[in-house]
A and B are shown apart, each in its own frame.
Chain A
Amino acid sequence: MVRATVDSGDAVIEVFHVFKRYGARPTLLDLNLAIMKNEFVFVTGASGAGKTTFLRLLFLDESVSEGYIVVNGINLQRIPGKRIPFLRRQIGVVFQDFRLIEHYTVYENVALVLEAAGHDRHYIPKRVRQVLRMVGLADASEAYPPGLSGGEQQRVAVARAAVGKPPILLADEPTGNLDGATAALVFELFAQLHALGTTIIVATHDRQLLEDAPGRIMKLQSGRMEIQQPCS
């Protein structure tokens, strides 16, 4: 078993002896790893291996049972409740089921992030249009999510995750509901964001994607990080 070495030099995420249990059932067991700034990391493993749980721990959608996690120098176990929204603004999240607000237009879904963060009202339309152009949905800004294809909805979700320029982007099975061509398009967006300096962490069990993975691959098995394949 190869364990991640914890190197706090240029790490944006550090995980120290993390355990996560739901009742008596352990999901993550003694996780130790570090993810560097601007890394592209794939977390893989079978269904139920703990990939989603691991990502949820990173943006405090769940809390650890033991151990601690440091994100951008912030110890998540010590962060006051009021500071959690500010932490989450540093982490964009993309879900398999998109999680778009159906009665908001594409523009509103993306702009909400900036509105919640209190950005200047003149900046918001410019930035939203810029991101929608990047994901190829500039013409769909007034459309509602149910009127879009799965691939388009996922691109809106990527735009929403990226619009606040977070240093970290998490994606949980982002291509799970997409065909191969559309999945490649979404990954192209991740690559673009990575090129802009974003640290990307993708949880997936899509073999095709892993074969072409541009970054490190970590494998979760029975709650343990079993293999860490370095960048190819």
Chain B
Amino acid sequence: MNQTALVSIFRRVKRNFWAVPHLHVAATGTIAFSLLIAGLFLVLYTNVNDLIAVWKKDFRIIAYVKKEVSAGQGKALRDTVNRMEGIQTVTYVSQEEALHQLRKQMKHRSSLLEGLQTNPLPASLEIELVHTDPDEGRIGNVVRTLEGFPEIESVEYARAWLRRFTGFVTFFRLATLVIGAVIFATTVFICSNTIRLTLYARREELAVMQIIGATDAFVKAPYYLQNILEGLLGSAIALGILFGAYYLLTARLAAQQVLLSAGNMRFLSGWEIIALLLSGITMAWLGCYLSLKQFTKS
């Protein structure tokens, strides 16, 4: 395609826009709105994932050691457990260390611990698993093995939290997929209908072009170009609004020193921004493709 054809195509893009400007504004607005929702979900998803990663890192199984087990036997047990599959680290916490930690945690209420004659806290093993999703089945296996050791009194871990967490992660992923698919389909449908209306308004022009020997590329290029520009513009608007909202929210959270403040929250990465822009373009392009295909058939 040479310079003349390109100039003609751009002129037709401009002409098509001014023929039905409200339709193109509506299509761009739809893309912007859809990607705003998708982007919002993506920001939420990445931040929740970050939070989950922190939780996963902090996930521990505590195995309490029987009182009659000596410190030497406890350390030997630590080494045995450390060799088990799926175990990242095992830390032996003696009775004295446990009490010391408790005193540190309760430094403002230390008087409560002053009357203690003996150390009531048991020694324990703090077990950190290999960093993957905390999976109840895998954790259950580790717990059962630990409970089989005669030196171990009891094993504790956040069972209820783990159940809720697993359910939440599954729901969140599913919701992301469903919402993503619905947004995608809706936007493609709206873009496709916008182009269909433009094509209908331009049907005589299209017929004339075919008669005079215009190639398919020459006839269709303005519509693709127009939709790609709308996709790009819609995505950019969505990203702009999203970043503005993120900026205001983090500034407000930082001012109020909320736990999830600016330092903990993050915006989309460069790749995620590119992916969002490409999604906008893809939706617009696909809408155009489907519409042109149907129009050409009819």
Contact B211 A61 (CB under 8 A): yes
Main SS of the interface on chain B?
A: helix
- Of residues 201 through 216 on chain B, the ones whose CB sits less than 8 Å from some CB of chain A are 204-205, 207-216
Please tell me the number of chain B residues within 8 Å of chain A, measured between CB atoms.
22
Enumerate chain A residues within 8 angstroms of B298, measured Cβ to Cβ: none
Q: Please, how many angstroms separate the alpha-carbon atoms of A119 and B216 in the complex?
A: 17
Chain A nearest Cβ from B295, distance in angstroms: 16
Contact A88 B212 (CB under 8 A): yes
Enumerate chain B residues within 8 angstroms of A114, measured Cβ to Cβ: 4
Cβ contacts B209-234/A at 8 Å (1 or 0 each): 11111111010000000000000000
Enumerate chain A residues within 8 angstroms of B4, measured Cβ to Cβ: 114-115, 118-121, 124
Enumerate chain B residues within 8 angstroms of A82, measured Cβ to Cβ: 215-216
Closest Cβ neighbor of B214 among chain A residues: A116
Contact A85 B19 (CB under 8 A): no
Contact B5 A88 (CB under 8 A): no
Q: Please, how many angstroms separate the alpha-carbon atoms of A177 and B48 in the complex?
A: 72
Verify if A133 is at the interface (C-beta below 8 Å from B).
no
Of the candidates A85, A93, A100, A103, the one whose C-beta lies within 8 Å of that of B15 is: A103
Contact B8 A116 (CB under 8 A): yes
Closest Cβ neighbor of B219 among chain A residues: A116
Verify if B118 is at the interface (C-beta below 8 Å from A).
no
Contact B213 A121 (CB under 8 A): no
Cβ contacts A88-130/B at 8 Å (1 or 0 each): 1100010000011111100000001111111111001000000
Assuming the contacts A101-B205, A124-B4, asked whether A88 and B211 have C-beta atoms less than 8 A apart, the reply is yes
Verify if A51 is at the interface (C-beta below 8 Å from B).
no
Verify if B116 is at the interface (C-beta below 8 Å from A).
no
Closest Cβ neighbor of B204 among chain A residues: A101
Enumerate chain A residues within 8 angstroms of B208, measured Cβ to Cβ: 99-101, 112
How many A-B Cβ pairs are below 8 Å?
Answer: 65
Contact B212 A116 (CB under 8 A): yes
Q: Please, how many angstroms separate the alpha-carbon atoms of A87 and B214 in the complex?
A: 10
Verify if B1 is at the interface (C-beta below 8 Å from A).
yes
Chain A nearest Cβ from B210, distance in angstroms: 8
Verify if B259 is at the interface (C-beta below 8 Å from A).
no
Contact B5 A85 (CB under 8 A): no
Of the candidates B2, B7, B214, the one whose C-beta lies within 8 Å of that of A85 is: B214
Contact A89 B213 (CB under 8 A): yes
Q: Please, how many angstroms separate the alpha-carbon atoms of A114 and B4 in the complex?
A: 9
Q: Please, how many angstroms separate the alpha-carbon atoms of A120 and B216 in the complex?
A: 20
Verify if B3 is at the interface (C-beta below 8 Å from A).
yes
Contact A93 B211 (CB under 8 A): yes
Q: Please, how many angstroms separate the alpha-carbon atoms of A85 and B208 in the complex?
A: 12
Chain A nearest Cβ from B17, distance in angstroms: 13
Chain B nearest Cβ from A145, distance in angstroms: 11
Which residue among B3, B211, B214 has the maximum number of chain A CB atoms within 10 Å of its CB? B211
Closest Cβ neighbor of B211 among chain A residues: A93
Verify if A86 is at the interface (C-beta below 8 Å from B).
yes
Can you name 25 A-B pairs with beta carbons within 8 Å?
A: A59-B211, A61-B211, A82-B215, A82-B216, A85-B213, A85-B214, A86-B213, A88-B210, A89-B212, A89-B213, A93-B211, A99-B211, A101-B204, A103-B205, A112-B8, A112-B209, A112-B214, A114-B4, A116-B212, A118-B2, A118-B4, A119-B4, A121-B7, A124-B4, A160-B212
Told that A119-B4, A164-B212 touch, could you supply 10 new A-B pairs with CB distance under 8 A?
A99-B211, A101-B204, A102-B204, A112-B8, A112-B209, A115-B5, A115-B8, A116-B212, A116-B213, A116-B214
9 residue pairs, one from A and one from B, having the closest CB atoms: A88-B213, A89-B213, A116-B214, A115-B8, A85-B213, A121-B4, A85-B215, A113-B212, A118-B2
